[in-house]
Amino acid sequence: MSTTRDTPDDSTYLARAWAARGARAPLAPLQIARRAPMPRDVQIEILYCGVCHSDLHYTHDDWHDTLPATYPAVPGHEVVGRVTAVGAEVTAHAVGDLVGVGCLVDSDRSCPICRAGRENFCPGQVLTYGSPDRHGTAPVTYGGYSSSVVVDEHFVLRVPRNLDLAGAAPLLCAGITTYSPLKRAGVGPGSKVGIVGLGGLGHMAVKLARAFGANVVVLTTSPRKADDARRLGAHEVIVSTDAAAMAAHAGSFDFILDTVSAEHDINSILALLKLDADLTLVGAPARPLALSSFALILGNRSVSGSAIGNIRETQEMLDFCGRHGITADVEVIPMQQVNEAWQRLERGEVKYRFVIDMASLKAD
């Protein structure tokens, strides 16, 4: 493990990381402080970390009004690793366990939302990167583009040992982001489910919906994605710019999950829903989507949004993926290629998720 103790009282240690020092600065090597494990903490050697589009948005300060970036910024919230130390009060994890960390590393634990087990909506939630560090180790939390991390045991998840670890890393964000709305919608045998978009989120949604037993239909603007959609588990593909194909499926979907983060015509998609059915958004376009009232009113339809799931549901998702052998389709890269990977991600040149092999940090 590439960490060394830093202070005489052993309260922190240094970990290798890659960070951006400004909104348009490239990622570069940096040593960061991590706290030594406290009684309820788990120390994790990070083996793999997925690259999420949120990493780019935060680091480039695209979300300045909502989540302003603090530099140096160490992104990464799709973490898979091995436990190297545990605090005296930890009961759920042991040294040597394979574990994961997603988008959250803490919450206030006491508010009504947390008491209801929905810590992912806690007003005091602590994100894996970019949130104020309650322990004072650093100005803000540092993410998974690093050699190790220390996290309260409540926010550490068990990773099924039968899963490929690199492919499991994106489950901690892309997996739970799509699993949660599919599960909430009750999709299963007999359900006709539409997945809009076939990127990092969309390809996970196809795999999960198929494992739930649904009839899965991918909606895409790109005919060239049809073969890959079927390989991933789709029963059918609709090219959404084909008016005749869209009309043939009007009023036939029980549920649609929209994973697209670019501007697109949501009203034509709503027309595909049955009466009283729902379209859930997990993609986040930079500009508001134009929504026709009639697209909702005439079919008593609804549009909803969905964030990541809570910790219990995230563990449920990992166990589900373990039973069904589901992982993301990934391209594994060394850390030294991360800036190039970010450029490719912005151009949409990845199938379907980059994952960083953290062993490459030892070469810095």
Residue-level pLDDT at 198 = 95
Largest Cα–Cα distance of the chain, in whole Å? 71
Q: Same structural domain for residues 145 and 109? A: yes
242 and 276 inside one domain: yes
Same domain, 131 and 211: no
Coil, helix or strand at residue 361: helix
Helices within 53-197 (DSSP H only): 53-59, 112-115, 165-168, 174-184
**CATH code for the domain in which residue 347 is found:** 3.90.180.10
The torsion defined by the Cα of 173, 334, 132 and 285, in degrees rounded to 10, comes to: -50
Question: If you ran DSSP here, which 8-state letter would residue 304 be given?
Answer: E
Residue-wise pLDDT for 65-114, tens only, equals 888 999 999 999 999 999 999 999 999 999 999 999 999 999 999 999 99
DSSP letters, 283-296, are: ---SSPPP--HHHH
Q: CATH code at 203?
A: 3.40.50.720
Count of the separate structural domains present in the chain: 2
Quote the CA–CA distance of 259 and 207 in Å, as a whole number: 14
148: which residues sit within 8 A by CB, 6+ positions away? Answer: 1, 2, 3, 15, 34, 43, 44, 45, 46, 81, 84
Task: Say if residue 353 is in the same domain as residue 342.
Answer: yes
* 89 and 209 belong to one structural domain: no
Residue pLDDT tens, the chain, 364 long: 333 333 434 789 999 999 999 999 999 999 999 999 999 999 999 999 999 999 999 999 988 888 899 999 999 999 999 999 999 999 999 999 999 999 999 999 999 999 999 999 999 999 999 999 999 999 999 999 999 999 999 999 999 999 999 999 999 999 999 999 999 999 999 999 999 999 999 999 999 999 999 999 999 999 999 999 999 999 999 999 999 999 999 999 999 999 998 889 999 999 999 999 999 999 887 778 899 999 999 899 999 999 999 999 999 999 999 999 999 999 999 999 999 999 999 998 999 999 999 999 987 6
Assess if residue 27 is contained within a domain: yes
Contact 224, 249 (CB under 8 A): no
Residue 233: which domain range? 174-305
Q: 314 lies in a domain?
A: no
> Which residues lie below 8 Å from residue 324, measured CB to CB, with a gap of 6+?
211
**Domain shared by 28 and 146, yes or no:** yes
Distance between CA atoms of 331 and 341, rounded to whole angstroms? 10
Tell me, yes or no, whether 310 lies in a domain. Answer: no
Q: Tell whether 187 and 229 lie within a shared domain.
A: yes
